[in-house]
Amino acid sequence: MSNRIYLDYNATTPVDPQVLDAMLPFFSRDFGNASSIHTTGQTARSAVETAREQVAALINARPQEIVFTSGGTESDNHAIFGMLDPVHYEKQNLISTAIEHEAVLNACQALADRGVTVAYLAAGSDGLVTPQHLHELLKELPDASLISVMHANNELGIVQPLEEIGRLAAEFDIYLHTDAVQSVGKLLVDVNALQVDLLSLSAHKIYGPKGVGALYVRTGTPVRQFLFGGHHQRGFRPGTENVAGIVGLGKAAELARASLTNDSVRISALRDDLERGLLQRVPQSRVNAATAPRTPNTTSMVFPGVDGEALLIALDLNGISCSTGAACSSGAVEPSHVLTAIGESAADARSTLRFSLGRPTTRAEIDQALLTIPETVERLREISPNYARQSAANT
């Protein structure tokens, strides 16, 4: 298994050894509760506050604007539910997009079921939503409580025009949330340049541990309490802090900030080589939303005539780990909502694989993938009745 090629870094990343080293003392020697006033507790408290500073620095925020959570899903839910008044759901409006992660889409649907009017920005064939469409919705719903637009899409890597969206939100005096789980650590993210009021991020996407994330809350943003308990994190998010996890997130944020530029250049070159090689070696293959700005590590490719799940399993047996889309949707019968939202047919959506590269990805791994993937696609096409019929129709 040591020779496996892992191309699913959008799903999760390995914990960086430096992150693990930073965490280990807080499982044993420095195990204190960060809310305790004795020396052991204050050692933990100091580590939590250092991590808060490290996360804030990564997104150009202030430390007091960082709230630690259990991950991206909690952060998304807290941002969305926390900005709407539960007493008057039926009088409130919310704007999001059709290609959000399920953590946002399902939160929006839950609010719609309770009476909130939810409007969705459509994505074009390039995966992008347009500020013009948002402007139209804002004129229809000028009293919207919140706009929630993801920064980078988890399946396509598409980077939305968040600065323009932020300017519109400010013009209409509406709060803006972004799910930045897939952009933080891959792109330069500045909450002030983007003009966002709330931002979600997750540790395990940036070589930190699973089970910890953060929600950026701009000073003055009236987010309601989401969980109830003690007075941890200034009463905003109760529960004993996951000190080891928070320390890991902080260290991962520090490392990401230091290596972001070099990582981006190196990984994007490998991603581009992978795309070019597959397009040359696999007839009829294509890249979804190829013309749009994307995160440097992600490519979503269609291999017509091949069932994506079958190709995923065949590649897995040949030592390559990748995805048909969002890891959270593995095993889903329905085609990806993201791909159908940008106009892909159900058949092409089911023939799509996502390859996402990471900091450990090597040139040798990409070279091997460029041998294995085309061979596997060709073998599956030879036994695919759908591909045989399609090829016959095209001749």
- Tell me the helices (H) and strands (E) count for the chain, helix number first: 13, 12
In order of 346, 347, 350, 395, the CA distances from 382 in angstroms are 21, 18, 18, 16
Tokens standing for 192?
């002030």
Q: Is 328 a catalytic residue?
A: yes
Count Cβ atoms within 10 A of the Cβ of residue 124 and give its class: 0-12 exposed, 13-18 middle, 19 or more buried.
middle
How far, in Å, CA of 146 to CA of 151, rounded? 15
DSSP string, 167-197: HHHHHTT-EEEEE-TTTBTTB---HHHHT-S
Tokens standing for 387?
């591909």
Tokens standing for 191?
């909450």
In order of 68, 158, 249, 308, the CA distances from 58 in angstroms are 14, 21, 11, 36
How far, in Å, CA of 135 to CA of 164, rounded? 10
CA torsion 70→71→77→83, rounded to 10°? 90
Annotated catalytic residue, options 193, 328, 332, 388: 328
Query: Residues with catalytic annotation?
Result: 328
